[in-house]
């Protein structure tokens, strides 16, 4: 299999309970990083990596996500009338980022389910999976790094980051069989949240994958895993019995915007990197230090 990776599945059907009550009526993926929702950053990264088709797996509560990537003629007409050319161009650009496809999530609980829901849209092609509440900051997008590994080996690829002992309790941890080149490992297993005593490494699998269509058969045969969930990483682990699976240790800065601290950190770091906000943000940080919060 040597096709280019053109499609990305982004599951966005979760409740976002860690951000309640803010997410009672607003999807967690629409929480802003300054003036742009998290999900837009994820989509822009996918597009910058060569993705043309974005498959958003949604629920009845995620209509604002769909609306965000649609045209808004009333708003566009108002911006044009007000002479706000830059904002108008920015708003019009959003709906043209990619070909957007929406699928409702149906099936058992777990992150393997939304991937299976989109199987009929993938066909016999490799594809990416990214979660709508994780950001990565680097000159070379995280997904592009992973696609480069896929195109070299033509086998599934995990995106991984180095973590500490606490991270081994929060993330699935890869068990490398061998290091095949700089920052690339062939895997022999993945352990779900093992803790520091049982962790086979300190490389954590985050929500980024490049997969091949045989994953769908593996998902069909899954049994409930950690917490009774149907876990995508478990399905990928079963593929290791049939074919090589690799991990790409990602270069860049990772933000888990699905956590309160991760979301706050992302806002602060992104503000410090914007010319229109950096100086004021530095003043805010200095002020906080002086008040000894």
Calculate what percentage of the chain has a pLDDT beyond 70: 98
| 8 A C-beta contact, residue 4 and residue 50 | yes
User: Does residue 191 have a pLDDT over 70?
Assistant: yes
More confidently predicted of 207 and 7? 7
Pick 193 or 73 by higher pLDDT. Answer: 73
pLDDT of residue 293: 55
pLDDT at 87 over 80: yes
Contact between 176 and 185 under an 8 Å Cβ cutoff? The reply is: yes
Write down the mean pLDDT value for the chain: 91
At residue 161's C-alpha, the angle toward residues 194 and 188, to 5°, is 55
Whether the Cβ atoms of residue 228 and residue 190 lie closer than 8 Å to each other: no
**Residue 209 CA, distance from chain mean position:** 9
Average pLDDT estimate for 245-266:
93
Average pLDDT over residues 213-217: 94
Which band of pLDDT confidence, cut at 50, 70 and 90, is reported for residue 2?
Answer: low
> Rounded distance, CA 264 to CA 73, Å?
32
Instruction: State residue 292's pLDDT score.
Output: 62
Confidence of residue 141 (pLDDT cuts 50, 70, 90): very high
CB neighbours of residue 84 within 10 Å: 13
Q: Does the bond joining 51 to the residue before it have cis omega, within 30 degrees of 0? A: no
Alpha-carbon distance of 37 to 161, in angstroms, equals 24
pTM of the model: 0.92
At 184 the pLDDT is 95
């Amino acid at each position: 299999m040597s096709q280019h990776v053109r499609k990305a599945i982004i599951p966005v059907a979760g409740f976002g309970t860690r951000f309640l009550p803010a997410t009672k009526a607003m999807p967690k993926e629409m929480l802003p990083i300054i003036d742009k929702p998290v999900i837009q950053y994820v989509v822009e990264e996918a597009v910058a990596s060569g993705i043309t088709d974005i498959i958003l797996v949604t629920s009845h509560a995620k209509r604002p996500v769909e609306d965000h990537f649609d045209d808004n003629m009333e708003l566009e007409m108002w911006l044009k009338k007000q002479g706000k050319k830059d904002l108008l161009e920015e708003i019009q650009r959003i709906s043209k980022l990619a070909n957007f496809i929406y699928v409702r999530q149906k099936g058992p609980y777990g992150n393997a389910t939304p991937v299976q829901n989109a199987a009929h849209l993938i066909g016999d092609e490799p594809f990416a999976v990214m979660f709508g509440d994780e950001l990565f900051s680097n000159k070379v997008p995280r997904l592009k790094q992973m696609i480069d590994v896929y195109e070299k080996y033509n086998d599934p690829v995990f995106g991984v980051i180095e973590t500490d002992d606490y991270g081994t309790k929060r993330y699935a941890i890869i068990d490398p069989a061998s290091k095949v080149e700089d920052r690339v490992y062939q895997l022999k297993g993945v352990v779900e949240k093992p803790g520091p005593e049982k962790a086979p490494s300190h490389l954590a699998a985050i929500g980024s994958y490049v997969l091949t269509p045989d994953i769908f058969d593996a998902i069909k045969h899954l049994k409930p895993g950690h917490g009774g969930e149907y876990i995508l990483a478990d399905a990928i682990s079963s593929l290791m019995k049939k074919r090589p699976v690799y991990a790409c240790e990602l270069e860049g800065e990772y933000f888990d915007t699905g956590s309160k601290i991760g979301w706050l950190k992302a806002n602060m770091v992104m503000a410090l990197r914007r010319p229109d906000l950096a100086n004021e943000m530095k003043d805010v940080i200095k002020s906080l230090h002086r008040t000894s919060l």
